[in-house]
């Protein structure tokens, strides 16, 4: 842990790519011909401890402009890190989003793997969630103390649209499917869910489940950034037919990782330069007021 309240200045970047388990074996984005590495993966100190390693790159957008991009793998393995003296993932998330705000990031695209908790989504399908249910401990309010952010339209419509266009192309090329609406359910882990828990989440309206997406989606809102994610279905959750198969899951990760990373990277390159969404303007309570202010806004 670092005791100083402020870290050394971070290089500037407006875009960020969060690589979750889906692209773990892939070497993207550094190997993409549109990308140039400015700074090799480096951990930065923050008031919440060290960030995960951040790689700084430029990415040539479809429009020709050069975009400054931070690439980070917040969770380098399927299980969250568990440092003994603190809940590792909690502090790593706060450190990461503190650093993203310091760097000036306003648009964040993520990719990850997920499990289907219904029979409608199959392994290798791409899912772009439009809403979420979160059963993990809440980490909101740390980065902007005293404020409560609105969760209206939590996933940026601009980012969802470019992810959807790219995912449709992926689905056509790979003979799989893409969905532009789904409800993501977040669970804490690292243990997996029981069949009864999965059935309960499905009855509540969940479509896919993983240990990612939150807190990222609401910490992004807390720092005023847009957030969108594409998830590749890796397996069926417990109790959903057929039984999940770790070898099949590993094969999908191995084969699909680079392609899923490309979908996310292509979306970052395709995003129009101007934000047309309302993510940064969503009502939130001013410092020192209560959530009632938000509800009546």
- Contact residues toward Zn ion (CB under 5 A) are 156, 226, 277, 279
User: Considering all CA atoms of the chain, what is the largest pairwise distance in Å, rounded to the nearest integer?
Assistant: 52
For helices 157-174 and 246-270, what crossing angle results, to 10°?
130
Q: Select 132 or 244, whichever has its Cβ closest to Zn ion.
A: 132
Residues in a beta bridge with 107:
15, 226
Q: Tell me the closest approach of the beta carbon of residue 143 to Zn ion, in angstroms.
A: 18
Closer by beta carbon to Zn ion, 156 or else 249 = 156
SS3 state at 208: strand
CB of 14 to Zn ion, least distance (A): 13
Residues 76, 26 contacting (CB under 8 angstroms): no
CA neighbours closer than 13 Å in the CB half-sphere of residue 284? 24
The least distance separating Zn ion from the CB of residue 269, rounded to whole angstroms, comes to 17
Q: Other CB atoms closer than 10 Å to residue 120's CB: what's the count? A: 12
CB of 221 to Zn ion, least distance (A): 9
Our CB check for Zn ion shows the closer of 111 and 125 to be 111
CA distance 275 to 273: 7
CB closer to Zn ion, 161 vs 197: 161
> Least Å distance between CB 131 and Zn ion?
15
Cα–Cα distance, 127 to 208 (Å, whole number): 8
96: closest CA among 59, 138, 53, 40? 53
| Tokens 């084969």 -> residue | 255
Q: Minimum Å distance from CB 228 to Zn ion? A: 8
Partners of 15 in the beta sheet? Answer: 69, 107
Q: What is the DSSP string of 231-248?
A: EEEEEEPTTSSS---HHH
Minimum CB–partner distance for residue 43 and Zn ion (Å): 28
**Polymer length of the chain:** 297
Phi, psi dihedral angles at 271 (to 5 degrees) = -55, 130
For Zn ion, the closer CB: 18 or 28: 18
Cβ proximity to Zn ion: between 185 and 277 the closer is 277
Judged by beta carbon, residue 126 or residue 277, the one nearer Zn ion is 277
């Amino acid at each position: 842990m670092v005791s100083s309240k402020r870290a050394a200045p971070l290089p500037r970047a407006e875009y960020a790519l969060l690589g979750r388990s889906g692209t773990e074996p892939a070497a993207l984005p550094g190997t993409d011909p549109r990308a140039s590495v400015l700074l090799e993966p480096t951990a930065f100190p923050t008031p919440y401890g060290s960030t995960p390693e951040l790689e700084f790159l430029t990415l040539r957008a479809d429009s020709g402009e050069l975009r400054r991009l931070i690439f980070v793998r917040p969770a380098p393995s399927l299980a969250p890190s568990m440092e003994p003296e603190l809940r590792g993932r909690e502090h790593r998330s706060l450190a990461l989003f503190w650093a993203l705000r310091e760097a000036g990031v306003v648009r964040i695209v993520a990719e990850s793997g997920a499990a289907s908790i219904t029979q409608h989504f199959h392994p290798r399908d791409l899912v772009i969630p439009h809403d979420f249910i979160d059963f993990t401990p809440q980490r909101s309010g740390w980065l902007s103390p005293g404020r409560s952010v609105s969760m209206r339209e939590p996933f940026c419509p601009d980012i969802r649209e470019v992810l959807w266009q790219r995912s449709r192309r992926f689905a056509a090329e790979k003979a799989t499917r893409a969905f532009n609406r789904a409800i993501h359910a977040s669970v804490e882990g690292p243990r997996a869910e029981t069949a009864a828990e999965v059935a309960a989440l499905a009855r509540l309206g969940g479509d896919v489940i993983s240990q990612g997406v939150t807190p990222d989606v609401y910490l992004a809102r807390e720092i005023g950034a847009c957030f969108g994610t594409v998830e590749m279905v890796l397996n069926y959750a417990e109790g959903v037919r057929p039984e999940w198969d770790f070898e099949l899951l590993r094969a999908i990760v191995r084969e699909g990782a680079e392609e899923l990373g490309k979908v996310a990277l292509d979306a970052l390159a395709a995003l129009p330069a101007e934000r047309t969404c309302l993510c940064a303007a969503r009502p939130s309570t001013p410092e020192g007021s209560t959530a009632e202010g938000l509800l009546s806004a």
